[in-house]
């Protein structure tokens, strides 16, 4: 759902809270070093086991982490902040709100999809083979009422009652 940049931005904002300019510079330098190391590892890839992490994903994360620490360091220098505060970081806060909105939208879409699946499980779709004379009567009723034969049968089924002895009955009704 989120890109490597989105994940890293959220992580760096949490980790950076309360760090001084020097500490943020150290984090940026560490990220730069790790970025360089993971790029070098990409050049020497051998056979990987099934449980090894994807080195390309790791390299992408360190690139994003380095860029975000650099952005924060530049922001602190430009704004002359002694420590980093995520609340004062306008761009970071905007990205965080966008991520939250994206997450809420994804959760809402997922919930709607689950409701649709549940409704689909509760529905009954039946194919009914009727004798020719019954089929002709059903089509005639449907034509007179302006409904499809399936709609007439659905309304009929909706009004069926079962007596104590198991017999099915339907009171007279007009399809609507």
pLDDT digits (tens, 9 = 90+) for 104-123: 999 999 999 999 888 878 77
**Structure tokens that stand for 111 in this block:** 């919930």
- pLDDT over 90, % of the chain: 62
**Domain limits for position 146:** 132-169
Same domain for 142 and 84: no
Q: CA-to-CA distance for 111 and 98, rounded, in angstroms?
A: 20
Tokens of 135: 């089929």
Mark whether 105 and 165 lie in a shared domain: no
Mean of all residue pLDDT scores within the chain: 88
- Residues 44-97: tens digit of each pLDDT: 765 555 555 667 888 888 999 999 999 999 999 999 999 999 999 999 999 999
Q: Are residues 17 and 97 in the same domain?
A: yes
Could you give the CA distance from residue 35 to residue 41 in angstroms, rounded to a whole number?
A: 10
- Residue 24 CB neighbour total at 10 angstroms: 24
Closest CA to 86 of 6, 15, 8: 15
- For residue 167, the tally of other CB atoms under 10 A from its CB is 8
Query: Does residue 175 sit within a domain?
Result: no
| Same-domain status, 110 and 155 | no
**Pair 79, 108 in one domain:** yes
**Residue 147: both structure tokens together:** 């409904």
């Amino acid at each position: 759902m989120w890109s490597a940049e989105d994940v890293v931005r959220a992580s760096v904002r949490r980790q950076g809270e309360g760090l001084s300019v020097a500490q943020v510079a150290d984090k940026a330098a560490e990220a730069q070093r790790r970025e360089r190391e993971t790029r070098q590892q990409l050049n020497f890839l051998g056979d990987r086991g099934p449980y090894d992490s994807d080195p390309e994903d790791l390299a992408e994360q360190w690139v994003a982490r380095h860029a975000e620490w650099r952005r924060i360091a530049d922001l602190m220098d430009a704004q002359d902040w002694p420590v980093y505060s995520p609340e004062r970081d306008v761009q970071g806060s905007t990205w965080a709100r966008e991520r939250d909105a994206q997450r809420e939208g994804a959760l809402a879409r997922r919930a709607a999809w689950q409701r649709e699946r549940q409704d689909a499980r509760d529905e009954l779709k039946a194919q009914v083979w009727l004798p020719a004379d019954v089929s002709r009567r059903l089509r005639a009723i449907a034509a007179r009422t302006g409904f499809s034969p399936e709609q007439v049968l659905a309304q009929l089924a909706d009004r069926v009652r079962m007596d104590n002895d198991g017999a099915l009955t339907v009171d007279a009704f007009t399809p609507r």
